[in-house]
Copies of this chain bind each other. A is one copy, B any other.
Amino acid sequence: MKIVSVQERTVSLGSATANAAISFDSMTASAVVVEVETQRGRFHGLGFSSIGRYGHGGLLRERFIPRLLAASVTDLHDPDSGAFCMQRIWGVLMKDEKEGGHGERSGAVGVLETAIWDAYAKSEGLPLWALLQREFGHSDECGLPAGQTGVYASGGHYHATGDDASRLADEAKRCLDTGYSWFKLKIGGASETMDRKRIEATVAAAGQSRRIAVDANCAFDAPEKRQALAKLDALSLRWIEEPVNPLNYRGLDEVSSALTTAIATGENCFAAADSSNLLLYGGLRADRDILQMDFVLSYGLTEYLRMINMAEATGWSRRNFIPHAGHQAALHACAGLGLGAHETGSAPGPFGGVSACTRIANGIATVSDRPGTGIENKPELLRYFDGMID
């Protein structure tokens, strides 16, 4: 394989919604196209940033795209087998990068690396899930065959125009009726009373509390907030997500000890080294808790596999992994590796729903056999690539 060209475009995702931590008005993302040439022809690999951490145009142009374009064919292939090698690509991208400091560049490398995976899968004539299954194996612990994954819907943001519980209930009901397994809403950005109303409205719409998860976006970090967390625990929800700041391992350990409800966290851990500390010090429980590391924000699939291997070596299962964000790359990783489930946004947009050729029914997504990650089959995402692909 040879890298022919790389393009990046920073696009605006602005929307008048918010979570407990930030507003999304000025949010951006990077759309990346990597053109490769193989003996089978030329292929375009598409990558798109995950949400919440802005685009990475500057870093990509300053460091990572030049390194990729400067790489020789030898740099990209295994010296023994001669096979194209994603670990070698990773080494090219991370050349002369110091250890530690895992933020921003982890997203730049992540979006570029997943674009190359898309091109690689296309060059092999495989959907990414099948390529991942071939290269790393699928775990049947998720209870589904390769090519399928559990899937849930994530929404329930706060709106600048004011929140109302009945709109939230409608959103939850629509998602569950569509075939998603459970629904997740944002909490921590309103009063405790208002959040309680939001949660109760969605639980009523879902019919059972296990079908509702809540995302606190770190709102319970302060020790004086922990009492409110105990009240949430009594509701027996699916999970409570990111109760404390991502690096507050001690706080997470306290919360893990105090709660019966599953905790989901990890979306802001951007490297295997950080994830390892999360498991070492956060008190998380392999029998229930959920690891949400998002590989598009975290140096790509090569680093994600390191995280999975590290976790599996210490008593965790791939079922515990439910990646953050709702991008097509995660959909394929879930279906190809046998992860716990796939998150997808409840609203239309780049992180909403799944590609048109993916079937959703009874809480299960059946991913198509079309080569690549399927960005081409998701019009609301593909529009960001207008004019970038011949």
Contacts and interface: CB of A to CB of B under 8 A. Distances in A.
A370 to B, nearest CB: 33
Contacts of A245: 99-100, 273
Given A58-B62, A62-B58, A104-B105, A98 B277 contact: no
B101 A270 contact: yes
Contacts of A269: 100
Contacts of A62: 10, 28, 54-55, 57-58
Interface residues of A, number: 49
A163 interface: no
A53 interface: yes
Contacts of A248: 273
Contact of A277 (B53, B63, B270, B277): B277
A-side interface mostly: loop
A52 interface: yes
A105 B57 CA distance: 13
Interface string A64-108: 000000000000000000000000000000001111111111100
A274 B102 CA distance: 11
Contacts of A99: 21, 218, 245-247, 268
Contacts of A97: 22
A100 B246 contact: yes
A319 to B, nearest CB: 24
A247 B273 contact: yes
Contacts of A28: 62
B273 A281 contact: no
A167 interface: no
A305 interface: no
The 4 tightest CB contacts between A and B, nearest first, are: A58-B58, A101-B103, A100-B268, A104-B104
Interface of A: 10, 21-28, 52-59, 61-63, 96-106, 218, 245-250, 268-271, 273-274, 276-277, 280-281, 297
7 contacts: A10-B62, A54-B62, A58-B62, A101-B102, A103-B105, A247-B273, A248-B273
Given A99-B247, A104-B104, 19 more contacts: A22-B96, A22-B97, A22-B98, A26-B96, A52-B98, A54-B62, A55-B62, A58-B59, A58-B62, A99-B218, A99-B245, A101-B104, A101-B297, A102-B102, A102-B247, A103-B103, A104-B105, A247-B276, A277-B281
